Amino acid sequence: MAVYNIRCSYEENLAKGPNLALEDLPFTLVGQPRYEFWGKKLNSRLGIPAGLLLDSRWVRLYARLGFDILAYKTVRTRPQPSLPHPNCLLVAAALPCSPKAIPESLTVSQRYRPVTEISMTNSLGMPSQTPEVWQPDLVRSKESLLPGQMLIVSVVGTAEDNQPARFIQDFVRAAALAAEAGAEVIELNFSCPNAPVAEGQIYEAPEFAGQITKAVRQQVKELPLLIKIGYLAEDHRLARLLAAVRDDINGIVAINSLKLTVLDQQGRQALPGAGRSQSGVSGYALKELARDFIRRLVELKQKERYDFKILAAGGILTPGDFEDFLNLGAEAALTCTGAMWDPYLALRYHLEYSLPSPDPGPLMTLDFREIGLPSQIDEDIKIEHRRGDNEILYPPTMKICPICGEPLDQIPPAAPRYCRCRLMPDC
């Protein structure tokens, strides 16, 4: 079961979620801040983009799961309900979409695939509570962070009556309210496949995007400012967007989910209601498109000598996917679908890439003592992770699985010592 329960409505997930209790975590990741982001040092370059962190309870959970760049779900200056349930469906994608051949439609699937191959569609419509509710919750979110972590707040203006000036001012007010509540970084959400075109496809209108970023920059002063954008297949369109916003932004989050037609098994519209024949597709289906886009974005950044940071997203479902984006030149790698279905994804990345590490010492350590588990970590934990498969190997002296707390001696001595616990879905 995913941390966000796709069988329930957005409102039910907001009220009752997340679907993983904080007290169930048998570990705490203790980082060593060393990555510089806008004057602050972070433990890692791993994070969650706007979408999954519905409120402070979700922020607190994922902070303790080892995600250090945490984006609060997009908020508005006024309340707005989500689109009708169902809001999330699994879709079938035998292969990732190709940059040269994006399909016209995908079909809903009833089959739960391994996390490494899962694709889904979401259709929420950027719901928001009132500022009177989300501002105090932002304060709680920020207070829940561990050292070496950062809170991004995603905002959007509400378009009405085809009045661009009022729309821009609503963006400015939303950003001001987020800054007032303690946001460390502001994200302007210029891409939402499930919102009206005026709100959800701003990244496709470079001049208008530039007007919004300039107006918001004047309001938030020195606060780091990001824009979240979707997939652009043509380099010239991407170049125009970057040229329009370059003077006012500190970073770009890319890419958001891809707007596609989603059909049921009978070839009909899968999501009920007007205007929902298309919705945002994420996960495995986005893997190649996201890599193509980040590669091109990095090239343009280097060519034009832009100094904004790139926070990559799209199709990150394995520890190696994080590493792929970072190797492409992104300063951070964010996962939504992956973290939703495998909340231990950041931990698995740290086990493979961060713990242990060469001098000047490990990036991460695992601390079991807070919940009283037997511990062999008075000295540094020595854990191997076999690159390329799903076996986590432990030293012979270790008796307790560091992820679920189950005894490792349940495995026959002649067999490889690796965890088969329910909390590691790919084991």
Report domain extents, the chain.
10-351, 376-427
pLDDT at 199 over 70: yes
β-bridge partners, 80: 128
pTM of structure: 0.85
What one-character-per-residue DSSP string does 251-302 give? EEEE---EEEEEE-TTSSBSS-STT-SEEEEEEGGGHHHHHHHHHHHHHHHH
Place of tokens 């040092």: 41
- Reported as a pLDDT band with limits 50, 70 and 90, residue 408 is low
Give the tens place of pLDDT for each residue, 69-79: 999 999 999 99
Q: Which is the CATH superfamily of the domain at 10-351?
A: Aldolase class I (3.20.20.70)
pLDDT of residue 367: 52
User: How many percent of the chain have pLDDT more than 90?
Assistant: 66
Average pLDDT (123-134) is: 96
320 close to 310: Cβ distance less than 8 angstroms? no
How deeply is 369 buried, as exposed, middle or buried, from its count of CB atoms within 10 A (0-12, 13-18, 19+)?
exposed
pLDDT of residue 422: 34
3-class secondary structure, 15: helix
Q: Taking the CA of residue 310 as centre, how many other CA atoms within 13 Å lie in the half-sphere pointing to its CB?
A: 25
What one-character-per-residue DSSP string does 83-102 give? PPSP-EEEEE-SSPPBTTB-
Give the tens place of pLDDT for each residue, 206-259: 999 999 999 999 999 999 999 999 999 999 999 999 999 999 999 999 999 999
Nearest to 17 by CA among 66, 68, 73, 69: 73
Between 26 and 293, the more confident residue is 293
- Reported as a pLDDT band with limits 50, 70 and 90, residue 377 is very low
231 close to 293: Cβ distance less than 8 angstroms? yes
Between 84 and 31, the more confident residue is 84
Average pLDDT (306-317) is: 97
What are the residue numbers of the active site? 192
